Structures are given as structure tokens and as C-alpha cells.
Structure 1
Amino acid sequence: MSRHDSDSKDTVAWEGRWLRIRVRGTWEYAERTHAEGKAVIIVAVTPARTLLFVEQYRVPLGQRTIEMPAGLVGDQDGEDTLEAAAARELLEETGWRARRVEVLMEGPTSSGMSNERIAFCRATGLEKVHAGGGDETEDITVHEVPVDEAPRWLAAKMAEGYAMDPKLWAGLWLVDRNPDGSPLA
């Protein structure tokens, strides 16, 4: 971005129900209209040491994806923390309730296209309370994959044609480590 762009004021080029396109100088970017501009991705390992993944069709890609459970912060009334959003999304998408949710790190999702930020959260003390599958607008399939088999399973799904967000591999790193590389206590 040029100095001119960083000093410019934003203008709204287009606004829809869920997204807004802003322009600052020569730069165009997207932001959400109904959430706080933050999202969470949840690294969740069950007591049987399986890692939780969700599969769903994503319209922008025109294909099914494999993801870690994830969702927006602030799109539910009264929800104002990363931890609350992560706990809600984990339960809604997978049917697993977390006794504890810890924020591990936060950063931009796509810094050249959006002002959205995403936080990796670790969910622990999991208890299965229902089948999951998302809310009435979602069609989510839950996958419980043994932690040791997860990289190979993801590679096989990618070979089958599923879209894979590279953040999945960051999530695998965080299964047994803290962001600084130290092992979990």
C-alpha cells in the first residue's frame, strides 16, 4: 500500500446483507456487516484422542471443504468474547461441549483482501452432548480422526478433491504444542 493509501479515508463501494466492500485510496477490501470482524478456529481433541474436523459445502469455492470447527465472533446477541464464540461454534458444529477454551493466537485471515482477524482456540475437557451438524442453515458432517492419522487423512481428502485451508496445518501444529513451540504441559 502506498503512503497515499494509508492516509486516505475509507469509502463504501458496495454493501450487502453480510459483506461490505470498502475503498481506501487504490485499495479495495471486504469486511463483514454483522459481526465484530473476528472469527475463531477451534483445535479440539476428544478424550479418545481424536481431532475434530467438519465437512461442508462452501458456495464461494463451489466445493466441499474439510475444516476445523470455526465461526464468527459477535454474530450472536450478548456474545462478546473469542472464548464464548469458540465454545458455541464447537458445540453447534460438532456436538462436543468444552469445559475450557483457551485463545492461543490471533491474526489476519487474508490481510490483502479483508480486515477480518481469526483466533486459534484450544478446546479441552470435551464432552459429547449431541450429533452436531450445525444450525438450520448448515449441512455439516463431523469427522473424528485419530490425532496421529490426521495429516495423512487430510492429504487423502485433498487428493479426493476437497478444498483445504492451509490453516489446518497450523491447527495440527497446535494440537500438542503452544504457539511458541513448547509442548503442552
Structure 2
Amino acid sequence: MDDLAWETTGTEIDYRCPGFDVRRDDVRYADDEPGEYHYVDEPPAVVVLPFTPDGDVVVIDEWRQAVGRTNRGIPAGTMEPTDRDDVERAAARELAEETGYEAASFERLTTIEPANGVTNAVHHHVLATGCTPTAERDLDDDESIAVETVPYDDLLASVLDDGLRDGRVVTAVTWYELVHQ
């Protein structure tokens, strides 16, 4: 497969904004022709599927400007430089910041590249169990979030009937079903 590889001969940030950059790479394609490739350059993220002790899931409803609606989701966010090597620490931080919940334990579900044709994003999906509302929320300036708990079967049903459209939740629930059910 090395015969498919491109050579990166240079790289520049074309645009910077909070949360991500748009990067342009100068490349040499596999056929030795020069070209350019633009993509969203963003730090790794953690996605948390949090269960309460009684089996409900802590979910968030959050305004999503890009799609112009409030979206049902689960806690997720950028891994900070201090927790890049510790997915569990990042998961605990995001869970507390967005929901005010803390987990008794964490378990890795999967790691994916959600759209590797347009971004270098990496999402670490984590199962959190024994979640209780003991932490203080600490929302970012651009976060409008409401928190509630829902029965897992209701969350699963919304994934299956297309009522839930956030790909991070769909991935987490799908992996949970594959590994734990």
C-alpha cells in the first residue's frame, strides 16, 4: 500500500479559529505529480457514554450552530494538552464540565477517525459507569447545554429510528451494543 502514499513537501495554516485550523499541505501524489490538499486540523477529542447506577444515560441537549438546531448528544470535547496521553482523565473532565456528573469507572469503547477525508480528527469513545451528579459544571463560552437522564432503551430507539443524528452518539451506542449486549 506504500505505492498509494503521498509525500508532504510543505504545510501551512490557511485559517485559524477556536477549536480547529484549516491546513494546506503541498503534496506529491503517488504518480509523482505535485498538488495541494486542504483539511480541518484539530486536536483529538473524547466522547463519553455515561450511565447512572440505575442504567439511565446522562445526555445533553446542545445548540449546534452548524446545523441550526438543538441536538441530542453526550458529553464530548477536545482533549487538553495536559490530558493528551490520558483518555480517562479527559473523559472525566468533559463529563464533569458539561454535565456536573462524575463516574465511578471508565472503559474504552473505540477510537475512530470520523471523517478522515476532510479532517485529521480522532475521537476516543469511552464508557463511563456509576455516574452521579457531584461535580460543578464549567461550560465553555460557546456552549449552551441542558442535561437530563434518559433510559438507555429510549436512547437506543432514537438511534435506530433516525431521531438522533449526532454521529458521536450513534458510534458510542453502536459500540456499546456490540461489546456489552
* Within-5 A mapping of 1:104-143: 104-130=109-135, 132=137, 134-143=139-148
* Within-5 A mapping of 1:85-164: 85-130=90-135, 132=137, 134-153=139-158, 158=163, 164=165
Task: Give 3-state SS (helix, strand or coil) of 2:6's partner.
Answer: helix
CA contact (8 A) 1:133 1:140 kept: no
User: Which residue of structure 2 aligns with residue 168 of structure 1?
Assistant: 169
CA RMSD of aligned residues (A): 2.7
1:67 aligns with 2:67: no
Match of 2:83 among 79, 95, 98: 79
Q: Deviations over 1:39-66 (max 9, x none)?
A: 0111111112111211111222222211
Please say which structure displays the higher CA radius of gyration.
2
Cα 1:176/1:39, change in 2 over 3 Å: same
Give the fraction of aligned pairs with identical amino acids, expressed as a percent.
23
1:23 aligns with 2:24: yes
Q: Which deviates the most, 8-17 or 111-120?
A: 8-17
Deviation at 1:38, TM superposition (A): 0.6
Cα 1:73/1:141, change in 2 over 3 Å: same
CA contact (8 A) 2:159 2:170 kept: no
Give ranges in structure 2 of 5+ residues lacking alignment: 28-35
- TM-score (normalised: structure 1): 0.77
Deviation at 1:141, TM superposition (A): 0.8
User: Which residue of structure 2 aligns with residue 9 of structure 1?
Assistant: 9
User: Which residue of structure 1 aligns with residue 53 of structure 2?
Assistant: 47
Q: What is the identity, as a one-letter code, of the residue corresponding to 1:145? A: V
CA contact (8 A) 1:108 1:117 kept: yes
Give ranges in structure 1 of 5+ residues lacking alignment: none
Whole-Å Cα distance in 2 between the matches of residues 72 and 119 of structure 1? 10
CA contact (8 A) 2:110 2:175 kept: no
Cα 1:173/1:9, change in 2 over 3 Å: same
CA contact (8 A) 2:61 2:145 kept: yes
Task: Give 3-state SS (helix, strand or coil) of 1:134's partner.
Answer: coil
- TM-score (normalised: structure 2): 0.78
Q: What is the identity, as a one-letter code, of the residue corresponding to 1:68? A: I
Q: Which deviates the most, 53-62 or 82-91?
A: 53-62
Task: Give 3-state SS (helix, strand or coil) of 1:8's partner.
Answer: strand
Q: What is the identity, as a one-letter code, of the residue corresponding to 1:28? A: H
